[in-house]
Structure formats: structure tokens, C-alpha cells
Amino acid sequence: MTTLIAIPARYASTRYPGKPLVSLKGPDGEKTLIRRSWEAAMAVKGVDRVVVATDDDRIRTHAEAFGAEVVMTSSDAQNGTERCAEVAAKLPGYDVVVNLQGDAPLTPAWFVEDLVRGLLADPGADIATPVLRCDGRALNGFLADRRAGRVGGTTAVFGAGMRGLYFSKEVIPFTAKTYADEAETPVFHHVGVYAYRPAALAAYPTWPIGPLETLEGLEQLRFLENGRQVLCVEVQAKGRQFWELNNPSDVPVIEAMMAEMG
């Protein structure tokens, strides 16, 4: 089985323009978000190819300068999944295409490795995505973001066979209980990584954007709205913290986490 990782990177982000080229300070010095995301992808075992997918020459020039392979995609792509579909059409023949979003440099390699194994072991699933059980610290952070009107992490609920039921930028399922920082909670953080079967990925851009995707702004909902099976693969943090860069305020949070990791 062959696996391709595509890293969608868009300069013209609505919430954070120029985000892929934002510099992040870590124990290894200053590197851009897109470079750190590429390095995270390169650390994944069992992957045959890693490419940066962008429509912006500034990102292409920068990525090629640090050694990444770049595939130029259309500026018409509505989201990372559509951009990955373009990559898969240009680079056919892979059994699994992974979308490792360019705003998640703290993604551990084993998240992606577990995800690919999960998809390959479940022939009924069209795509797979990781979920991470929140501890109290993470859940309280999500709730604080929502109270402050910030876009925080996405949460997921799933049913039998770990089939995804819904994904939301709200914190679901609701719980009235208060949790200590180290306590397990019933809330699962959706980690923004996807592994697609090529046929499902090719079909995705042909479907209209549905009302749920429009309301939530979550690309994976298009699969659910079109009756496709989304497999949620539970992954383990193993002491690592995970955070996506959605807002400028996330930069110091991610830098602090990198400092803790050493």
C-alpha cells in the first residue's frame, strides 16, 4: 500500500492572512508554520511521498527553499480537502492520500500512522480522521475560547464502529460537570488530519457545499452530508499536547508547548 501526504497551505486565510509563513520560535530556533508542518509530515513512517499543496508563489518559493516538493493547485479550491483532491488527480496511483493540514505542526507522527492503519483495516470507511480524548485542561481551554468568542478546537461525536456522527466548533457533547486538569472527559478533540480513499476524495469536489458545512465551516461535514462513512480513530497523546494555529493568539500557546517538549 502506498501513501501520499499532502499539506494544504493557503496564504489568503480569512481569519489569519499569511498564516503559513508565520514564524514560530522553538528549541530548534525560528521556523515558519509551513516548515514545521512539513517536518512533522516527514517524520511519519511508511509514507512514500510528502508534498506542499498551495496556490501562492510566496509559499512555493519558501517551501522549495527548505527542500519541500510543491504541487501548485487552483485558487478556486474551497478548502484543504479540495486542494488534496487536485493533488491526487495530478499524482495518481496512491492507495491512501493523507491531508496533514498546514496549521498543525504539533501533530505527532503516530497520529498519522494510526490513522492510515485504521483506514486500511476498515474497508467500509471512505475517510478516516483522528480523535483525541480531552483531559480537563484541554476541555477547559476549549470552553474558555468559546466564552471569549474565539474559534478553538473542533470536537467530534461518534457511534457504533467509531463512525462519525457529527463534528462541531462548539463543544459537544454537552457536559455540566467540572473536570480537573488531569481528569478524563467525555469530549473528544477532532484532530485536523484526514486519510482518504482516492475514490471518495475524487468525488468530494463534485458535491455541493451543504448547510452543515456552511454553518460550521468544517470540510469533513460534506462527507457526512453525502452519506459517506467517516471513521474516527482514537489516538493517544502519550504526554504530548496538540494545538492548531487558528488565531494569532495561538502562536505563543504553540511556542510554549514546543518549549515544554524540548
Say how far residue 138 (Cα) sits from the centre of its chain.
17
Which has more pLDDT, 1 or 241?
1
CA atoms within 13 A on the CB side of 234: 11
Which has more pLDDT, 160 or 245?
160
pLDDT at residue 88 is higher than 70: yes
Look at 76-85, 99-108, 115-124, 240-249 and tell me which has the smallest mean pLDDT.
Answer: 240-249
Residue 245: which of 17, 19, 10, 6 has the closest Cα?
19
Q: What is the pLDDT of residue 262?
A: 67
Write down the mean pLDDT value for the chain: 93
Is residue 104 within 8 Å of 36, Cβ to Cβ? no
Residue 157: which of 133, 188, 179, 126 has the closest Cα?
188
Name the CA dihedral angle for 147, 166, 203, 34, rounded to a multiple of 10 degrees: 40
pLDDT (average), residues 254-260: 85
Is residue 190 within 8 Å of 153, Cβ to Cβ? yes
Grid look-up 463534485 returns 206
pTM as predicted: 0.92
Residues 6 or more apart in contact with residue 24 via CB below 8 angstroms: 30, 31, 32, 33, 36, 105, 251, 254, 255, 258
Q: Name the 3-class secondary structure at 31.
A: strand
Q: What is the pLDDT of residue 253?
A: 85
Tally of CB atoms within 10 A around 72? 16
pLDDT at residue 201 is higher than 90: yes
